[in-house]
Structures are given as C-alpha cells and as structure tokens.
Structure 1
Amino acid sequence: MTNTTITVKAPFRADQVGSLLRPKSIHRANEEYKAGKISAETLHEIQTEEIRRAVDKQIEIGLQAVTDGEFRRNWWHFDFLEQLDGVEGYVSKEGRPFKGIQTEKYNIRNTGKITFKPDHPFIRDFKEFKKIVGDRAVAKQTIPSPNQLFPAGIRNKNVYPDIEDYAKDIIQAYRDAIQSFYDAGCRYLQFDDVYLAGLSSSEMPYSDGEFTREELIELALSVVNRILEDKPADLVITTHLCRGNYRSKWAFEGGYTPIAPYIFANEKVNGFFLEYDDERSGDFEPLSYIPEGGPSIVLGVLTSKNGNLEDKETIKSRIKEASKYVPLDQLCLSTQCGFASTHHGNELTEEDQWHKLRFVVEIAKEVWG
C-alpha cells in the first residue's frame, strides 16, 4: 500500500455511525424480490434511487460524511463477511439474545481458507455510491471489524487448528479489502466492532474455554494493528464499538474499563466511535487511556434507539465532562449507533431520524463553532 498526504480530516465534529432506516420502498422491494416478483436488477435500481435521496438529505442537514445507509444490506456484518472466500451464511437454530427479544435466525461460519475476493459486491456498490456523492461530501464506508470473525463457534478448527493461522488469513483478507476500497476511491472507512465491546462485558460469552478474556483482547488489538501497519496515510479508519442495536434493543452492558488499557491506548485507528447514550456504557474515565494528540473520540451521547431529542444543555454538559479526560479539540459528536443495524430498523420514524442527525450538527456547531 502506498502512502500519500492526508486530505480527509475525519472523524468530523458532527459525524454519524452509518446505517439509516430503510424506506418503505426498499422493504417492499425486498419482499417482492424474495417472492420472485421482481428481478435482482430491479431491486438494485430501487435501492440506488433511495440511496440518492438519503445522500441528498444527509448533505442538506449539514453532515460532511455521508453513507449509503447500508440500504443494500440485511445485516450490518453478515452481508460483508459471507462474501469472503471461506465464510458462508446460514440459518441458525436460534437468534441472538437481546434485551427482551431474540434476533432473526442467521449466522456465519468458517468453511475454508479465508481470502478477500476481488469481485466482492461491496466494492462494486461503493463505486456506485461514490459517484452519487461526487465532491459534495466525503463518502464514508462501513464494514464489520475483522474481529467479528472471532466469536466462539465461527472458526472451523478442522480448517484452522491454530488460531494464529486463522488470524493471519483474516489480516491478509482485510488488507486486501482495504486496498480494494482505497483503489475504488474510499478515504473514510469504519470498522464496526461488537465483539470487542463484548470483551468488556461480563455478560458476554467470549470463548469456548480455549483462551482467557485478556488473551482475546490482546489478539483483537493485534489483528487490527497488523491490518493497519501499511495502510495509505490518506485513508482514515475508525472503530465503532457497540453493545448491540437490534430493533431499539441492546445485547449487553458494561463500561470500557477492561479493554481501555489495551485498545484505547494502543489501537492505531484515527478515531473511536463510542456508545455513551445511557448508563449501560459506564463513565468517561476509561477515556484517560486515549493518548493526547492521538485518535479522535466520537461521543455517542445521543441515542438512535428512539426519536426523542435529548436536552441540549445536558449533551453539552456531557461533552464538557468527557473533556476532563480527552481534550475538547480531540472530541466529536454522533449518535451511539446507526438507526438500522439490520433491515428491521429501530423503533422511530424517518422524520425522527433526520431530526436527530440535524440535532447532532446543530450541537456540534455550538460547541466547536
């Protein structure tokens, strides 16, 4: 990978995680496609038209980084991962437990040696998305973190008896993916990481007994940093840590203290998007591990799980509180997660969603100018 001068300054003071509520036309088109009533080409055209509208709306409300809303996906992670060689999606026996609900039954598993395919559909989709955005804003791409391949039960131990061999192939697959996105014009890429956030929670089953929690945290850090060793200098890469976002429900709770000395102090990303919208996330003290002048911290102190606008002065007060641990100039603002990590979406309206994102922009302007 070649290094050039950094031209994109991200994360932005007012930023966003990525996913947006799917418009009714996309829900309808997905159902019609499953029923064989429309072709894949027609589905793609409908998705494209809605992406155009969403990009225009994001720019209208003042966001400098825009996304495709993840409109072509069913899941924030599976759609990308199951298109890697050596990984397949399947209908699982059970969904994943969330607070008061269980997810749709689906998962991924390792079936062979893992590599990144040059014709991965996400590259094609990004090129189309980038053309829609043009030079009006920064086209931000979100993909699941490489660590989403490490939850217990995914790795096939017959294919990869040694987890380090598994890690090496994942690292190379992601290095190839980064280069492909970069060649397609991507300059702002985000790794979404529920697995790593889960390692900070005593509620999450993190292993089948093969490794300790500390060993897995160290492995997760090593995987990301080895991927980033030779990334282009003008490619901004961030990590979003999430505790689950499914139909406005969450999967687990727990502050960042267990992972902060490892991840916050040492992960070589340009920024962290952190979930801080309620007491489940703990306090800001773990931010003291962030190096001064190091990665930006995007405070997710507004929620995407409902449409109620927070009290503005309370949000400003929370930003001020976080600035005791990280300089204000190193802080940014967003919602704690996207609005539709899966095709189902959270329990709010599209109008609520746009009001919330406009509110993020408004507050950021008042705090940082």
Structure 2
Amino acid sequence: MTNLAHYDIVGSFLRPAELKQARAEFKEGKLSKNDLRALEDKLITDLVAKQKEVGLQAVTDGEFRRGFWHLDFLENLNGVEGYHPQAYNQQFQGTNAPAYNVRVVDKLSFNFDHPFLKDFSFLKEVAGPEVLAKATIPAPTMLYRQEVLANDGTSKLSEVYPDLNDFYHDLAKTYSDAIQAFYALGCRYLQFDDTNWAFLVDEHKRADLKAKGIDPVEATKISRQIINEALANKPSDLTVTTHVCRGNHASSWLFSGGYDQIAPDLFATDYDGYFLEFDDERAGGFAPLKYVPAGKRVVLGLVTSKRPQLEAPAELKARIKEASQYVDLADLALSTQCGFASTETGNKLTEADQWAKLKLVVSTAKEVWG
C-alpha cells in the first residue's frame, strides 16, 4: 500500500463560476466540446496547484468534468444507459438532486475507451511526480443498490440478468478491469465512493427493504462479496480506499445511522482504507471501528464540508484521541467528511471556506501526527 499522509481529501471541489457558466453554455450549444475541455484543463491545473499549496500529498481533479459524482462514470460502462426517470427517488433533506439516473440494459463490461481514463492521464501529468494523482470513481455496489435494493420500477435488470449471481459476477469483473486500466496509466491511488453502505444502515431504508422481501443483512454480505471479487486481482502497489458517503448535495444528506450493523462486513472488504463520515450525530460513535483489521487506514471525516463554520482544533484532537481507542493512532488520518461538490451544484459555502477547511485538516493533522 502507498504510504499516505495523515491528512487527505475525499475528492470533489466547488466548481468555479466560470466553469458553471461554460457548462451551461455547452448544454445550450453555445460552446464547443473542445473549448469546454480547454477551460476544464486550465481550471484543473489551477486547482492542483492550490491543493499543493495547501500541503496535500494526494490531489484530485476536483471532479470538475462531472455533473454527478457517480452517474458520469456509470453511464460510460458497457451495458449501462443514462435516462430521465419520471419520478426520482433521491430525495435529500430539504432538496432534491436533478432527475437523472442510470440503469443496466445489456451485459456489463468495462469500456476501455472510458473518458475517465483520459481525464486521469491529464491529472497525473499536471500533478507531477511530487504528489499522488488520486482517481475517484463510484463503487460497484452503486449499481447493485440502484438495480436491486432501490429498484423504482424502471429497472430492466431481470431481462438482462435472470440470475442475479451472473449480474454480481459481471459487475465485479467490470470493476476488476477498471482497476487494471487505471493502473496501466500509472494510477497508484484509487478511491471507490459508496452510498450503499449508508443506505444499509438507515433504519427507514432497512424497513423498506424488508417490506420488499429483501433481507438487509444478506444485502450487506452481497455488497462485501461484489467488492472483494472486484479487488481480488488488485496490484500490490495500488492503494484502493473507499469513502462511505451519507449523501451530499447542496449541503443536504440522504441517510442516517451508525456503522454498527454493517461494520463486520464493511471492514471485511479488501480495501486498504476507509473514509468514514463522523461530522455529526447521524454517524453514531466510534465503537464499530473495533472491527477494523490492524494495518488498515481509517480516515476520520470530522471536518464537515456542508457548512462554512470551522471546527475547533481542540475538539478535533479530542475526537481523534477517542477514535484511537479502537484503531491505532498510526493507522488514523483526518479529512473532511465528504467532498465539497458531489454534484456540480456544490455545497453552501464559498471557495474561501473550502480552502480554510482543508488548511484546518492539514494543520490539525500535523499537530497530531507531526
């Protein structure tokens, strides 16, 4: 596993107003694809420089080329299509995400011309040799959740995969191939973003699953199975982590619940590390961390990306100390609980607030770990 710093980032950054305007003009046909990409290249280059200036040792492209943290990747897999549902079930607290989704329409496989590969190559070039270029993609379990657990009646999965075990295997193989494709381009730090685990801890969602005849305990084990099959052939010098997300759109959220019910299976996945949200009471306590195997990295998401107010360093240090009762301090790290813009809308804070949050993460971590 790559030797990572004790401070890190989840991945997404607030989109500059210039980029939002350009993307709007592109959708209206007023700006060419090449002109949009040229602007994205410039803004990503600027963003990487700012990340280095803050002191980050792993940098991302801020997801500046995406509209959604997950859909842009998933709809470019073979066998998946994007579509506009009549009713969209991603109802955040106080707001809704834009009505767009994906579904499986044919046998799954990885698209080796996937646009994210070109995007990563650009990031690696501008990152240079002194920092890690970090790629972020949605976890395979996002398609499992979408098609099986949260099926809203628009799924065509049963037509393509009458046997769900075939779906699980093809999904894992698709991601296994994706891992190899990123690795071949020089990627040594890859993150799977995943709201499925948070879906499975939410008591309301668990009740919904039971009402549909789905056992949430079994669903948790299937999630572990898919992920571990996807990671089975991971190169030894590639770090793959996961971010367990509770929903992040316009400073709102989707799911609540502690990690207790999923911890044995979540921490039995073959990831090298786990980004866990602990920025408010919805996440519960640190006790489930007792299931984390020794040597695995746990990145504590104690600094919220949803609000501009800065956390007190003393409070952050106290919570890190509390978490160290369950995971060795050497295996802990600090980050924001999520990115700043999982959708291009972005959270309700300014770019200045965003950088202040990251400076707080870095400075606090250096005080704790040196």
Superposition TM-score tier, normalisation by shorter sequence: over 0.9
- Give the aligned CA root-mean-square deviation in angstroms: 1.2
- Report the counterpart of residue 225 of structure 2 in structure 1: 222
- Report the counterpart of residue 64 of structure 2 in structure 1: 71
* Residues in 2 aligned to 1:150 and 1:226: alpha-carbon distance in whole angstroms: 14
* Residues in 1 aligned to 2:176 and 2:252: alpha-carbon distance in whole angstroms: 33
CA contact (8 A) 1:197 1:242 kept: yes
Please state if 1:253 is matched with 2:256. yes
- Equivalent AA in structure 1 for residue 40 of structure 2: Q
TM-score, normalised via structure 1 length: 0.95
**1:103 paired residue among 91, 97, 104:** 97
- Report the counterpart of residue 335 of structure 1 in structure 2: 336
Please state if 1:273 is matched with 2:266. no
Using the TM superposition, give the Cα deviation of residue 102 of structure 1 relative to its aligned residue in structure 2, in angstroms. Answer: 1.5
CA contact (8 A) 2:198 2:255 kept: no
Using the TM superposition, give the Cα deviation of residue 209 of structure 1 relative to its aligned residue in structure 2, in angstroms. Answer: 2.7
Q: Deviations over 1:225-252 (max 9, x none)?
A: 1111111000000010011000000112
CA contact (8 A) 1:59 1:136 kept: no
* Residues in 2 aligned to 1:56 and 1:173: alpha-carbon distance in whole angstroms: 33
* Residues in 2 aligned to 1:282 and 1:48: alpha-carbon distance in whole angstroms: 40
Matches within 5 A, 1:136-155: 136-151=130-145, 152-153=150-151, 154=155
- Report the counterpart of residue 189 of structure 2 in structure 1: 188
* Residues in 2 aligned to 1:240 and 1:72: alpha-carbon distance in whole angstroms: 20
* Residues in 2 aligned to 1:35 and 1:211: alpha-carbon distance in whole angstroms: 43
Q: Deviations over 1:76-123 (max 9, x none)?
A: 000000001111111122331111111111111110101111100000
CA contact (8 A) 1:85 1:113 kept: yes
- Equivalent AA in structure 1 for residue 139 of structure 2: S
Distance 1:210 1:108, change over 3 A: farther
Q: Deviations over 1:152-171 (max 9, x none)?
A: 32561111111110011111
Q: Describe the SS at the equivalent of 2:157.
A: coil
TM-score, normalised via structure 2 length: 0.95
Q: Deviations over 1:143-183 (max 9, x none)?
A: 00000001232561111111110011111110110000000
Q: Deviations over 1:294-332 (max 9, x none)?
A: x11000011000111101100000000101111111100
CA contact (8 A) 1:201 1:254 kept: yes
Distance 1:208 1:125, change over 3 A: farther
Using the TM superposition, give the Cα deviation of residue 203 of structure 1 relative to its aligned residue in structure 2, in angstroms. Answer: 2.2
Please state if 1:116 is matched with 2:110. yes
* Residues in 2 aligned to 1:155 and 1:329: alpha-carbon distance in whole angstroms: 46
- Equivalent AA in structure 2 for residue 98 of structure 1: F
* Residues in 1 aligned to 2:131 and 2:110: alpha-carbon distance in whole angstroms: 28
Q: Deviations over 1:44-93 (max 9, x none)?
A: 01111000010000000000000000000000000000001111111122
* Residues in 1 aligned to 2:66 and 2:314: alpha-carbon distance in whole angstroms: 36
Using the TM superposition, give the Cα deviation of residue 207 of structure 1 relative to its aligned residue in structure 2, in angstroms. Answer: 7.3
* Residues in 1 aligned to 2:182 and 2:294: alpha-carbon distance in whole angstroms: 29
Q: Describe the SS at the equivalent of 2:65.
A: coil
- Report the counterpart of residue 173 of structure 1 in structure 2: 174
Matches within 5 A, 1:1-369: 6=1, 8-10=2-4, 12-95=5-88, 96-151=90-145, 152-153=150-151, 154=155, 156-204=157-205, 205-206=208-209, 209-264=212-267, 266-293=268-295, 295-369=296-370
- Equivalent AA in structure 2 for residue 141 of structure 1: A
Gaps of 5+ in 2: none
Q: Which moved more, 1:84-93 or 1:271-280?
A: 84-93
CA contact (8 A) 2:108 2:171 kept: yes
Using the TM superposition, give the Cα deviation of residue 124 of structure 1 relative to its aligned residue in structure 2, in angstroms. Answer: 0.9
- Report the counterpart of residue 3 of structure 1 in structure 2: none
Q: Describe the SS at the equivalent of 1:142.
A: strand
* Residues in 2 aligned to 1:334 and 1:124: alpha-carbon distance in whole angstroms: 27
CA contact (8 A) 2:77 2:108 kept: yes
Using the TM superposition, give the Cα deviation of residue 208 of structure 1 relative to its aligned residue in structure 2, in angstroms. Answer: 7.5
Q: Deviations over 1:251-273 (max 9, x none)?
A: 12100001001112x11111000
Structure 1 runs of 4+ with >6 Å offset: none
- Equivalent AA in structure 1 for residue 328 of structure 2: P
